[in-house]
């Protein structure tokens, strides 16, 4: 049964570029109210939407207006995980000044209906999937009432200074080489192979490699890629990046230590720690004075403990909640 619309609320289709300023205003109000640590600009939102893979704005996005003002919106995305499950995610916002009027429930019903319809055309089990940050208490309660349950926990970790970076030398038999264009395919493939078996990691699809090279996180001048000298294979990598938009909008100098992996044959030798230390130095040399990362709290390799040894501390505890898609 569809929830009753609050007085004055109307759903409408995405209107294109003209919607981005109001969307950014709503998102930024949510980020501030829920202590999410983000600020978005309309220009960067426009760029991000243009890069979204397999995205149809008429099918996957809806706007909620209340008395002619944008009150919120929700977007659907999907991928197939390594087990063949169709994962259907949702990213939604309701302006804090307009909360507790049922708008979030209306948007949740809309996106679930769209995802059920999409799942009917697929020959696979499907789940609704939402990443909820620690400060989104109201959204968490709404999803719990709707039948969502925790599926996985994640940590946000910060290193507030790039002073006192530990001296962690590369283990014998490995070398870090400057990234060359001819290395990119091997780096991509090694990362995908190393992530096999990790929770909710989707296998690469045609075009993913090419798309990866166009993302704003693609900053190979900062990367630390270790090669196993005897085999000539990529053994491990840390691919930090600098989010210039967030640094500019929040007046900070922060790098992000992300995309960390070590191939199975070379684990438990200290390679990851050495590459993280080198990545922190690269961020410092690029003018940054702090760094952050995100990690699966249930990671089988106890990654959070390694990051703590490298100077990171937990600042946010987040969760993915899911429920089966009923078709």
pLDDT on residue 121? 82
How far is residue 72 CA from its own chain's centroid? 21
pLDDT on residue 299? 81
Domains 9-147 and 157-317 equal at CATH topology level: yes
pLDDT on residue 320? 98
DSSP 109-174: HHHHHHHHHHHHTSSS-EEEEEEE-TT-HHHHHHHHHTT-EEEEEEEEEEES--SS----PPPTTE
pLDDT on residue 297? 93
Residues of the chain where predicted confidence (pLDDT) is lower than 50: none
Name the residue ranges covered by the structural domains of the chain. 9-147, 157-317
CATH of 157-317, one of 1.10.3430.10, 3.40.630.30, 3.40.50.720, 3.40.190.10: 3.40.630.30
Interacting residues of 220 by C-beta distance below 8 A, sequence separation 6+: 179, 184, 239
Our CA angle for 112, 61, 213, nearest 5°, is: 110
Q: What is the DSSP letter of 231?
A: T
CATH class of 9-147: alpha beta
């Amino acid at each position: 049964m569809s929830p009753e619309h609050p007085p004055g609320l109307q759903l409408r289709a995405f209107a294109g570029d003209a919607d981005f300023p109001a969307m950014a205003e709503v998102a930024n109000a949510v980020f501030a109210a829920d202590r999410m640590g983000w600020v978005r600009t309309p220009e960067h939102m426009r760029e991000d939407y243009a890069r979204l893979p397999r995205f149809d704005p008429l099918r996957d996005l809806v706007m909620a207006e209340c008395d002619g003002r944008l009150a919120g919106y929700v977007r659907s995305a999907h991928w197939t995980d390594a087990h063949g499950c169709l994962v259907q995610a949702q990213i939604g916002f309701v302006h804090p000044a307009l909360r507790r009027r049922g708008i979030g429930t209306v948007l949740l019903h809309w996106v679930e209906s769209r995802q059920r319809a999409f799942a009917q055309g697929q020959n696979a089990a499907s789940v609704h999937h939402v990443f909820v940050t620690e400060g989104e208490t109201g959204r968490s309660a709404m999803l719990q009432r709707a039948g969502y349950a925790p599926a996985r926990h994640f940590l946000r970790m910060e290193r507030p200074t790039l002073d006192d970076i530990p001296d962690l030398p590369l283990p014998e038999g490995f070398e870090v080489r400057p990234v060359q264009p001819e290395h990119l395919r091997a780096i991509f493939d090694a990362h995908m192979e190393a992530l096999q078996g990790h929770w909710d990691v989707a296998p690469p699809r045609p075009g993913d490699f090419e798309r990866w090279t166009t993302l704003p996180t693609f900053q190979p001048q900062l990367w630390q890629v270790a090669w196993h000298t005897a085999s000539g294979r990529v053994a491990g990598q840390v691919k930090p990046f600098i989010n210039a938009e967030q640094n500019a909008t929040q007046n900070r100098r922060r790098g992000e230590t992300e995309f960390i992996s070590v191939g199975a044959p070379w684990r438990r030798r200290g390679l990851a720690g050495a590459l993280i230390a080198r990545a922190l130095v690269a961020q410092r040399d690029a003018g940054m004075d702090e760094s952050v990362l995100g990690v699966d709290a249930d990671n089988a390799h106890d990654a959070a403990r390694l990051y703590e040894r490298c100077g990171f501390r937990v600042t946010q505890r987040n969760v993915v909640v899911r429920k089966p898609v009923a078709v």
